[in-house]
Structure 1
Amino acid sequence: MAIGQNLDYKRFSGGFHEKGCYSKLMDKYKRFLGFGVNVFAAIAFSAIIIFISWRLLFTSICSWYYLQLDLITDPTHPGVAPGWILSGCGYPASVYLGEDNKEVDNEEWGIALQPPSTTSDDEDDSDDDDDSDDDDSDDDDDDGGTSSSSSSISSSSSSSSGGGGGGGGSSDDAEADDDDDDDDDDDDDDKKKDKKKKKKKKSKKKKKSKKKKKKSKKKKKKSKKKKKKKSKKKKKKSKKKKKKKSKKKKKSKKKKKKASKKKKKKSKKSKKSKSKKKKKGLLWKARGKGGRKRK
Structure 2
Amino acid sequence: MSTQETGALIESVNNMTATVTGKMGEIDKKVNHATESVPNAIRSMASVNFFVSNDGHDLTGNGSFNKPFKTILFAIKQAIPGSFVTINLFGNQEYICESNVHHNSSHGKNILITVYHANSEVVIKPKITFRMTKNPKGTWDDAYVCNYFEGEDFSLTIRDVDIIHESIPTGGKPYYNHTFGGVVTRGTVNSGGLNVTLRFVNCGLATGDHPFVTGLMGYLNVHLRVVSISKGGTMDSLFPKVNNNMAMIIGLQSVSISGFTSNLPDNVFSYDPTKAANVLSCGL
* TM-score (norm: length of structure 1): 0.23
Of Structure 1 and Structure 2, the greater strand share is in 2
Question: Taking CA–CA contacts closer than 8 Å with sequence separation of 6 or more, which of the two structures ends up with the larger relative contact order?
Answer: 2
* Bigger Rg, structure 1 or 2: 1
Normalized per residue, which structure has more helix? 1
TM-score by length of 2: 0.23
